[in-house]
Amino acid sequence: MNYTYNCCYKKNACPTELGGHNAGPNPFSLPIRIFTIMRVFFITCLLILSNVASAQQVPKTVLAEHFTNTYCSVCASRNPGLLSNLANYPQVLHVSYHPSAPYAACPLNVYNKPENDARTNYYSAYGGTPVLFVNGTWITSVYTDASIFSSQLGKTTSFDVKVSMLPYGADSAIVKVVVKKVDTSSLSALQLYGGIAEDTLFFTANNGEPIHTDVFRRSLWGTTSLAVTAPVAVGDSSVYIKVVAGDPVWVKSRIYAFAILQQGNKEVVQSARSAKALTAGFPTVAICPAADVCIYPNPALQMLFMSGDVVGSTVSILDGTGRLYRSVTITKNEQFIDISSLRTGLYYFVLNNSRGVTYKKFIKQ
């Protein structure tokens, strides 16, 4: 059958033989319907593929938690093999704890006995050393066995963890842990453990070991893990911030923070460590008159700190157009505001209290 391709714009304007209003079935209606259905199907597929692409598991970090003791002769004989094995897997996150059993005189335990012992007891491993857990599982094979770590490579998880550490004031650091849900998961109730470690200590111990690596120094939240609820939706994040006081015995350039996300059965969901961000030293704390407020550093990258007589004040952060970013009430004389999500540019710090309103500018790097 042959069709004449004419275009009729007015109702009843086309003769019947050309497919006007009074004509029979439109010869183009079926192809148009097919095209519409295919278009909808194509768009639906793109949306599904987009969701699949955005919801994707990430590699799970291999975590090695090592319980040892500087008075333990067995540790001195087994630890070198473990360290040699670890050297072949630089992607492994290694932390060494020093429990008080079997030797309470271990100086690395004496330094922080409660928290070293608490982490050991968490795994029900108190009483003997050395002991090794990889991603929450007790390792009973010889420490030189490469499969201890190689068997864990390539595993994935629905949760991403990021840890950052920045100087805070003259003698402290601020640790930020971000837990992000990147794929579907039924996990909800989790445990978050965090700490500060020193990558290398050099001293000859009672058992003859001259080097001690990734030494646990301090927990972020005391002797127990934080009970946390996993983010609900894919793409959601939970942020945990902790200010940690420094210690003169630490070598700042060797200090890093770490975080471990676990299920109730001790299985590690994800773990991460920060960079050693204290190499450049701590920024100078601004000295403020009693009636003023100071903000630092300026320019700022992730955290904006404030000091001065600010308790009870309201602080607002505005962008260059006057649009409000956030507003907080100050509850102590030194506080920080997380500005990591701000775009680079000029912002206004506005302090409002019974003495009036104070405006200060700062630059987000």
Higher pLDDT, 13 or 262: 262
Q: What is the dihedral of CA 235, 56, 274, 173, to 10 degrees?
A: 10
Q: Tell me the average pLDDT of the chain.
A: 83
Q: What is the dihedral of CA 75, 270, 280, 216, to 10 degrees?
A: -30
Sequence-ordered list of residues with C-beta below 8 angstroms from that of 304, at least 6 positions apart, any chain: 295, 296, 317, 336, 337, 339, 349, 362
Cα angle: 300, vertex 301, 302; to 5 degrees: 110
Please compute the mean of the pLDDT values over residues 153-182 and round it to a whole number: 90
Q: What's the pLDDT band for 11 if we cut at 50, 70, 90?
A: very low
Distance between CA atoms of residues 245 and 199, nearest Å: 18
Q: What's the pLDDT band for 282 if we cut at 50, 70, 90?
A: very low
Q: What's the pLDDT band for 13 if we cut at 50, 70, 90?
A: very low
In the chain, the percentage of residues whose pLDDT exceeds 90 is 53
Sequence-ordered list of residues with C-beta below 8 angstroms from that of 15, at least 6 positions apart, any chain: none
Say whether pLDDT at 333 is over 90. Answer: no
Q: Are 133 and 127 in contact (CB under 8 A)?
A: no
Burial code (b: 16+ CB inside 10 Å, e: under 16) for 263-284 equals eeeeebbbbbbbebbbeeebbe
Which amino acid type is present at position 191? Answer: Q
pLDDT at residue 3, rounded to an integer: 36
The number of C-alpha atoms within 13 Å of 83 and in the hemisphere containing its C-beta is 16
Nearest to 123 by CA among 112, 139, 110: 139
Distance between CA atoms of residues 327 and 349, nearest Å: 10
Q: What is the CA radius of gyration of the chain?
A: 30
Backbone angles phi, psi at 281, to 5 degrees: 85, 180
> Which residues lie across from 224 on neighbouring strands?
none
Say whether pLDDT at 29 is over 70. Answer: no
pLDDT tens digits, one per residue of 69-101: 999 999 999 999 999 999 999 999 999 999 999
Q: Are 315 and 350 in contact (CB under 8 A)?
A: yes
Say whether pLDDT at 46 is over 80. Answer: no
Confidence (pTM): 0.69
Please compute the mean of the pLDDT values over residues 335-363 and round it to a whole number: 84
pLDDT tens digits, one per residue of 234-261: 999 998 988 888 888 898 889 999 999 9
pLDDT at residue 35, rounded to an integer: 61
Region at 70 (left for phi over 0; alpha for psi -120 to 50; beta for the rest): alpha
Strand 172-181 and strand 268-273: the pairing is unpaired
The class level of CATH for 58-273 reads mainly beta
Measuring CA to CA, how many Å separate 252 from each of 92, 201, 215, 224, 324?
A: 22, 12, 13, 25, 37
pLDDT at residue 170, rounded to an integer: 67
Nearest to 160 by CA among 272, 275, 273: 272
Best CATH choice for the domain 293-364 from the list 1.10.230.10, 1.10.3720.10, 2.60.40.3580, 1.20.120.1080: 2.60.40.3580
Taken as a whole, the chain contains a residue count of 365
